[in-house]
Structure 1
Amino acid sequence: MTSSMTLYCDEYHCSAGCVLFRFDASTPQICILRNNRSTEYVLPKGHKDLGESIEQAALRETYEETGWPCEFLPTNIVTRAPPPGVSSGEAAREALGATREAIAVTLRNLEGKPGSVKFVFWYIAQITSTKQHQNTQMATEDLEAKFMDAEEAIRTLSRPGDRDVAKRALELVNKTRAAETAKGSSNKS
């Protein structure tokens, strides 16, 4: 039996964020945030603004909270989203270089608060500049952005859900990079 629930716009929060990568070291690095008010280590994310797409919110929030200009990182993912013009069906399929697809959605129950359900859409991004911008955070934020070796960043994150998302992002990035390397090697043969 299938069940469903309808939530109206005043009953949920919609947020988006990114696992932000940098590749100038021998191993991939992930940017995590230290919340100086709570001392938690988290991934960058925040609320979607009115009129903004979820994808736009993910990149904007990541930039605002980290100060790093960024873009979506093309990765090979398995998704239930069909290619344009193809009947949807139920089967998962591989999407090569799916740059604008969320890799995960977190559902948080914020019991006791108005709009007690929060959806967080997660994407994979990479920096587009070697220079971090200053003073990009909202006045209410006190976050310190730090790039770390990806494995260390995953271990440092405070929330199990953030660790799971970052781990999955790293797996997808490593798998995509390995496929690109193998493809490059076979083209040279």
Structure 2
Amino acid sequence: MARKLTERSPMAVGKIRVRPKTAENCKGLRKRDIWVRNNAVNWKDEKVWEKIRNQGCYHKSDEIIVSCGTVTINKAEGPNPEVLVVYNNRIGIYQLPKGRKDIGEGYLDAAIRETTEETGIAVRPLRLKFASRSTPPRLAAAAGAIVCGTEDPSTGVTSSLSNEMIGVNPDPATGAWRNIHWYAAKPCDGIERDEARMPIPDDRDKFSTFWFSEVDALALLKLDDEKFSGAVRMITIHAHNAVLPANLTVDVVVRVAFQHVRNMSTDDWSSNEELEGKQELL
């Protein structure tokens, strides 16, 4: 069963000291300058190519780990949304659900699967509104494609409701490049833990399941990359089709996801309901 804050493990007992300004508009998140496509780069300048050669790098597939996880939010459109967090009983920390993707598996599919397997709660993608470097679908709207906004031709950025990743970050713990791709999600059919959805017996003992407010989650999550400390690390966060800037930390993931939620309008939530209704009819 998913537990509330008052039922959390002995590791977290005691009054929580909440850092101020946790919900500010992602202040401290350093973004790269977005260049105008037509004027930013002189492709005939050899110094440009020298910079690309010097900064570029290649890593073999066995040097890279790809993990996928979610910031799953219950009642995101309401006044008191809560985020799904697991307590890792083996190492004694709170963290977001995530895990390595399977061979041939899509990133979003892996994030949804890992979340359900670690928490026992069925989730599905949460479509949020934010800017992404992914390109809008080329199919015509008349053919039934979902309208995903228009790409800014000068920057290559599209601001729209989408299910793209909301961020990515590397983890140096193994010595490999570990890219963790984060997506926004929401519960499908309830918020209670069902261990029948956890096929790996070890996960049932390893993880406890909790729902926390944004403020409580930020106070309890161990990894800065899962909160938002403002430090610069490479993070990829996806929201049911959403992507965040690459330089974040996991405190980032929660704060960015909740900021996207706060940026949603009534029309945006209505659009999500309409889309989900259409999908259920298919």
Q: TM-score, normalised by structure 2?
A: 0.58
Q: Does the residue aligned with 2:61 lie in a helix, a strand or coil?
A: coil
Q: Does the residue aligned with 2:208 lie in a helix, a strand or coil?
A: strand
| Higher normalized helix content (fraction of residues) | 2
Q: Does the residue aligned with 2:201 lie in a helix, a strand or coil?
A: coil
In the alignment, what sits opposite 2:65?
13
CA distance in structure 1 between the aligned counterparts of 2:201 and 2:155, rounded to whole angstroms: 44
In the alignment, what sits opposite 1:180?
266
In the alignment, what sits opposite 2:108?
55
Cα distance, 1:143 vs structure 2 = 0.5
Could you list the per-position Cα deviations for residues 63-96 of structure 1 after superposition, in whole angstroms to 9, with x for gaps in the alignment?
001111111001001112221237986432302x
Q: Does the residue aligned with 1:147 lie in a helix, a strand or coil?
A: strand
Equivalent AA in structure 1 for residue 173 of structure 2: L
Q: TM-score, normalised by structure 1?
A: 0.84
Cα distance, 1:148 vs structure 2 = 1.1
Runs of 4+ in 1 over 3 A off after TM superposition: 85-91, 181-184
CA distance in structure 2 between the aligned counterparts of 1:183 and 1:129, rounded to whole angstroms: 18
CA distance in structure 2 between the aligned counterparts of 1:155 and 1:8, rounded to whole angstroms: 37
The reply to whether residue 139 of structure 1 matches residue 225 of structure 2 is no
The answer (yes or no) to whether the contact 1:27–1:150 under 8 Å persists in 2 is no
Unmatched tracts of structure 2, length 5 or more: 1-50, 139-150, 228-251, 271-282
Q: 1:4 to 1:157 in 2, by over 3 A?
A: same
Cα distance, 1:7 vs structure 2 = 1.6
Equivalence map 1:1-189=2 (5 Å) = 1-2=51-52, 3-23=55-75, 26-85=79-138, 90-95=155-160, 97-99=161-163, 101-110=164-173, 113=175, 116-130=176-190, 131-135=192-196, 136=198, 138-141=200-203, 142-163=206-227, 164-176=252-264, 179-180=265-266
Q: Does the residue aligned with 1:58 lie in a helix, a strand or coil?
A: helix
Could you list the per-position Cα deviations for residues 124-169 of structure 1 after superposition, in whole angstroms to 9, with x for gaps in the alignment?
0000111431151623430001001122112211111000111111
How many residues align? The count is: 177
The answer (yes or no) to whether the contact 1:81–1:88 under 8 Å persists in 2 is no
| Higher normalized strand content (fraction of residues) | 1
